Amino acid sequence: MSRITDHPHPLAEYTDRIDPDAVYTVRQLAALLELAPSSVSGMAGYGWLPGSRVQPHRRGGRQYTWTGKQLKRLAGRRVKVSYDHDRYAPATLYRVGCRCSQCVHAHGVDSRNRRRALAEEAFPAEKRARLVEFVAAGTPVTEAAEKVGVSLSRVYGRANWDVAFAEDLDEAAWSLCVLGETNPACGTASGYRGNGEKRPACRGTGCREWRRSMSQQERAAA
């Protein structure tokens, strides 16, 4: 059984970011609202985005568009929402206040997929392959990141969730071992920190794995 509630329009909190002189497609509006394009199409189907115009798409077919002025006017309206999961997409219902487990999960998945799509655009497969090649040839990760034009945080951020890239990077980074992977000090505090001017700090895979393990233990203890 669904219940009907009165809510601010989903555009309301984005009013200041709407350019009144611009024309928005479904994808551009989805980017503004931080939603999937399918959710915006659903909103239009529910009658929450009236006044759209149909224009030819540059790749063929047609696309729906709204002017910024239209969107600003719509943002001031309130919408009546029925939390009907058979009719509305969970990600859309989350936007208008539903916090059931299904809608919370859908919002999390939608947000994660959007972040990963942006990450892929900023650090595509070609750049990842070049970075791994540089590291395998002995270039420190920091310098390799600069050569391919990405930040170090982007590299390690990708490695946190992309298992295949993390494995490739770890395999390549054995080339950075200061002591050599067979040395007993490889993968220890001494290896990671170095010994002043006598031996530089190591950022090879063995010592990085030691630092990673220690970080996990420190977070668990905290």
Whether the predicted pLDDT of 54 surpasses 80 = no
Q: Record the pTM.
A: 0.58
Q: Which residues pair with 24 in a beta bridge?
A: 66
| Maximum C-alpha span of the chain | 73
Give the residue, 190 or 87, on which the prediction is more confident.
190
Q: Are 43 and 92 in contact (CB under 8 A)?
A: yes
The closest of 102, 96, 114 to 43, measured between CA atoms, is: 96
Coil, strand or helix at 133: helix
Whether the predicted pLDDT of 108 surpasses 80 = yes
Q: Which residues contact 142 (CB under 8 A, 6 or more apart)?
A: 152
Q: pLDDT grade, residue 61 (50/70/90)? A: low
Q: pLDDT grade, residue 58 (50/70/90)? A: low
How does pLDDT run across 188-201, given as a tens digit for each residue?
A: 888 888 887 778 88
Q: pLDDT grade, residue 110 (50/70/90)? A: confident
Beta-sheet strands, E only, within the chain: 4-8, 23-25, 53-56, 62-67, 78-82
